[in-house]
Amino acid sequence: MILRTFGFSEFGFLLSALLWTVVLTIIALSGGGVVGFLIALARTSTQKWLRIAAATYIQIIQGIPVLMILFLSYYGLSLAGLQLPPLVAAGASMTIYASGYLAEIWRGCIQSVPKPQWEASESLAMTRAQQYRYVILPQALRISLPSTVGFAVQVVKNTSITSIIGFVELARAGQLINNATFQPFRVFIAVAMLYFVVCYPLSQLSRWLERRLHARSHH
Amino acid sequence: MPEVIIENVHKSFGSVEVLKGVSLTVEPGEVIALIGRSGSGKSTLLRCINGLEKINSGRIEIAGHTVSADPKQLRELRRDVGIVFQSYNLFPHLSVGENIMLAPKIVKNIGKVQTRETAEKVLQLVGLSEKFDAYPDELSGGQQQRVAIARSLAMQPKVMLFDEVTSALDPELTEEVLNVMEQLARDGMTMILVTHEMSFARRVATKTIFMHQGKIWEEGPSKQLFGDPQTPELRQFVKSDVK
Amino acid sequence: MSYTFQFGVIAQYQNEILAGIWMTIKLSVASIILGCAAGIVLASVRSMKPGIGRILVDAYVEIIRNTPFLVQLFIVYFGLPGMGFRVSAVTAALIGMTINLAAYSTEIIRAGIESIHKSQIEAGEALGFTKLQIYRHVIIMPAIAKVYPALCSQFVLMMLASSVCSAISTNELAASAAFIESQSYRSFEIYIVVTLIYLALALTLRGVLALAGLWLFGRRVARRTATALPEVTA
């Protein structure tokens, strides 16, 4: 490659890579949201073995590096004979990662709905599924918003780790441009700024939701 | 045939036995007041009656259902037995109307029009027609408790249980809740209430039961029980309440 | 397709693995000590009256918390040499980890300081404490005791995130794994083993931090630390 300088077209390349960061984040949050939700339900189940299995899953995911989840799903999937594009491996591992954290966040939210709410709905002859659907989850959802948005910021940032297996998102795009331009400081500051532009508003939103939640529950 | 039959019920929390063989029958339309010191087992007994606490031995029958550990049977029972708690326990994310209509709609599969009609009727009964669209946190404690009663009534129960429903309320708010309960009693509802309101028990309850150390210590028609207590424990209890 | 797992191969590489573990531990411990110390100082600056100090600390915390650790490492390792500071991969890793952890510690400790009631400070004054004594015994130590579980979760997260330093060729545990993988081609086995080592390190670190909490703050804080999972701070 001929030596270039970091200019408009390079910045354009970063912007298009940012799109993949966003796509990966959305995959992680929706996939991890579904899996994490099921695990949060298992974690609050009346069945002891389900609770233990869910707690173990959460402890393991939260006790290992995201990078290892990434390598294990990358090599694990290829061992299973699946030659998958990096997007799938990246999406799968980000899903697993997000599920372990979202499950724990949401468990906390479900359990912070006061116990009398369970008793009152039970006494109205609701099934357990109806209690969740109509009484517990709507309240847990409101409580969960600030921390869920806060976690989304972590996911955006951690998608950068998928660059290590060669998935071309924002951080990887920065490396590629740096290899061509040898202007690391400029390039990576630009990369950092783009992450900041996505993450900062989310952080502020999370804080605003937190304040609103507090204001409502204390008046 | 009695509406409620309680036979030799025992209940322990860990190694502490809180109910030591309680037996009691309640006829339809009777109003039973359970009184006693805290820790006497009266609230536990009430919660055992609708299966919120599991009994260790004995038998409870209510409104034609037997209390069991089976969730499905318990749900059948709870369609016919309402309970109101000390802390109201309204669903904070739902309006007053939605609080009342939820269970009839999803548990009994009653249509929209009819649940709404019922909701308006029970709200009128507790004197809160104008609060249909309000949210629980916009209401006073007394109003919330009246909505909780209405919510139970909307299921058209055969028996109503009241667990110290006025204990969290200021005296002036207590009165409006007691009035609703007195009206219910007059309309012939079978009621069991755990209460600290002695004058209310004396006036409204057909029978009062004094519980002490996990047992029914003394029972009888309310006026007789309060007027002429037989045991020193009840005498002491009634006296300490007067002051 | 059938695959036979061969974990035996990995035994040959135990020296590489041990060296990797040792580097991960050294980096983690050093960054925890430095990052936490910096966090205490910055949170103290932050809690003083509004001014340029507060603005700078806030900006620092927000910038670090809203950009990826990996990109921070790239800037330190690839970017600083261009400005005349050449650093080794290990030094870059230590700088990156410390900068990152300092920002999170600042935010967590700040929340702890804000939860200390004014009345306690007044009580300290009434007892005739000096300003420094009040600061140490009435503000900082109780504040840290309050947020200690959250702080520890962040430490564990940092230890796990140190695996990313392999991307700038810091020879810690994840880099050892990559090296062994390139030599033996038993990629799945090696990553399973290394993942389990990380899990063991995380559990051990949490245990050690709980013991430290017991020694520093007493039983209640230690129990909360042992059971706490990493929290997500917004």
Q: Which CATH number fits the domain that encloses residue A198?
A: 1.10.3720.10
Residue at A2 is within a domain: no
In this prediction, residue B105 carries a pLDDT of 96
**CB distance C160–A66 less than 8 Å?**
yes
Residue C233's pLDDT band (cuts 50, 70, 90): very low
Question: Nearest residue of A to residue C78 by CA position?
Answer: A184
> In the predicted model, is pLDDT for residue C206 greater than 50?
yes
Residue C217's pLDDT band (cuts 50, 70, 90): confident
Q: What is the mean pLDDT of residues C43-55?
A: 88
**CB distance C63–A196 less than 8 Å?**
yes
> In the predicted model, is pLDDT for residue A1 greater than 70?
no
Interface of A with B in 16-45 (CB under 8 A): none
Q: Which of A130, A116, A138 is nearest to B88 (CA)?
A: A116
Q: What is the mean pLDDT of residues C92-101?
A: 97
Q: What is the mean pLDDT of residues C147-173?
A: 95
Q: Which of B87-91, C40-44, C90-94, C219-223 has the lowest mean pLDDT?
A: C219-223
Percent of chain C with pLDDT over 70: 92
Q: What is the mean pLDDT of residues B135-159?
A: 96
Residue at A90 is within a domain: yes
Tens digit of each residue's pLDDT (9 = 90 or more) over A60-115: 999 999 999 999 988 877 777 777 788 888 999 999 999 999 999 999 999 999 99
Distance from the Cα of A194 to chain B's closest Cα (Å) equals 38
Residue at A143 is within a domain: yes
Distance from the Cα of B75 to chain A's closest Cα (Å) equals 5
How far apart, in whole angstroms, are the C-alpha atoms of residue C212 and residue B116?
60
Tokens (6 digits) for A87: 């997007």
In this prediction, residue C219 carries a pLDDT of 72
Residues in chain C with CB shorter than 8 Å from the CB of A63 are 156, 160, 198-199, 202-203
Tens digit of each residue's pLDDT (9 = 90 or more) over C166-199: 999 999 999 999 999 888 878 888 999 999 999 9
Percent of chain B with pLDDT over 90: 89
How far apart, in whole angstroms, are the C-alpha atoms of residue C151 and residue B125?
55
> Between these two residues, C125 and A28, which has the higher pLDDT value?
A28
* Domains recognised in chain C with CATH numbers: 8-227 (1.10.3720.10)
In this prediction, residue B8 carries a pLDDT of 95
Q: What is the mean pLDDT of residues C69-81?
A: 94
Range of the domain at A190: 8-217
Residue at A72 is within a domain: yes
Q: Which of A149, A177, A157, B70 is nearest to C161 (CA)?
A: A157
Residue at A162 is within a domain: yes
Q: What is the DSSP string of chain A?
A: -------HHHHHHHHHHHHHHHHHHHHHHHHHHHHHHHHHHHHT-S-HHHHHHHHHHHHHHHHS-HHHHHHHHHHHHHHTT----HHHHHHHHHHHHHHHHHHHHHHHHHHTS-HHHHHHHHHTT--HHHIIIIIIHHHHHHHHHHHHHHHHHHHHHHGGGGGGGT--SHHHHHHHHHHHH--HHHHHHHHHHHHHHHHHHHHHHHHHHHHHHHHHHT-
> Between these two residues, A159 and C141, which has the higher pLDDT value?
A159
Question: For residue B25, how many C-alpha atoms fall within 13 Å in the half-sphere facing its CB?
Answer: 4
How far apart, in whole angstroms, are the C-alpha atoms of residue A204 and residue A215?
16
Identity of the highest mean pLDDT range in A73-82, B14-23, C221-230: B14-23
- Domain ranges for chain B, please list them: 4-242
Q: What is the mean pLDDT of residues A142-154?
A: 96
Give the phi and the psi of residue C228 in degrees, each rounded to 5: -75, 140
Residues in chain C with CB shorter than 8 Å from the CB of A104 are 229
Q: Which of B154, B147, B160, B137 is nearest to B101 (CA)?
A: B154
Residues in chain C with CB shorter than 8 Å from the CB of A32 are none
User: DSSP class of residue B170?
Assistant: -
Q: Is any Cβ of chain A less than 8 angstroms from the Cβ of C72?
A: yes
Q: Is any Cβ of chain C less than 8 angstroms from the Cβ of A108?
A: no
In this prediction, residue C50 carries a pLDDT of 84
Residue at A1 is within a domain: no
**CB distance A199–C67 less than 8 Å?**
yes
Instruction: Match 């700038």 to its residue by tokens.
Output: C168
Percent of chain A with pLDDT over 70: 97
In this prediction, residue A177 carries a pLDDT of 93
> In the predicted model, is pLDDT for residue C231 greater than 50?
no
Residue A173's pLDDT band (cuts 50, 70, 90): very high
Residue C228's pLDDT band (cuts 50, 70, 90): low
How far apart, in whole angstroms, are the C-alpha atoms of residue A122 and residue C6?
53
CA A138 to chain centre: 21
In this prediction, residue A219 carries a pLDDT of 45
Percent of chain B with pLDDT over 70: 99
- Average pLDDT of chain C is 89
Count of structural domains, chain A: 1
Give the phi and the psi of residue B6 in degrees, each rounded to 5: -120, 125
Spell out the long-range contacts of B127-136 with Cβ–Cβ below 8 A and sequence spacing 24 or more.
B127/B176, B127/B180, B128/B96, B131/B96, B132/B95, B132/B96, B132/B97, B133/B95, B133/B96, B133/B97, B134/B95, B134/B96, B135/B92, B135/B94, B135/B95, B135/B96, B136/B88, B136/B90, B136/B91, B136/B92, B136/B94, B136/B96, B136/B99
Minimum-distance CB partner of A138 among B75, B89, B93: B93
pTM here? 0.89
> Between these two residues, C205 and A86, which has the higher pLDDT value?
C205
Minimum-distance CB partner of A206 among C177, C203, C234: C234
CATH top-level class for B4-242? alpha beta
- Average pLDDT of chain B is 93
Give A183: exposed, middle or buried? Use CB within 10 Å, 0-12, 13-18, 19+: buried
> In the predicted model, is pLDDT for residue C232 greater than 60?
no
Tens digit of each residue's pLDDT (9 = 90 or more) over A187-209: 999 999 999 999 999 999 999 99
In this prediction, residue C229 carries a pLDDT of 53
> Between these two residues, C223 and B9, which has the higher pLDDT value?
B9
**CB distance A124–B151 less than 8 Å?**
yes
Residue at A131 is within a domain: yes
In this prediction, residue A217 carries a pLDDT of 63
In this prediction, residue A190 carries a pLDDT of 94
Query: Residue A25: CB partners within 8 Å, gap ≥ 6?
Result: A94, A152, A155, A156, A159
Residues in chain A with CB shorter than 8 Å from the CB of B154 are none
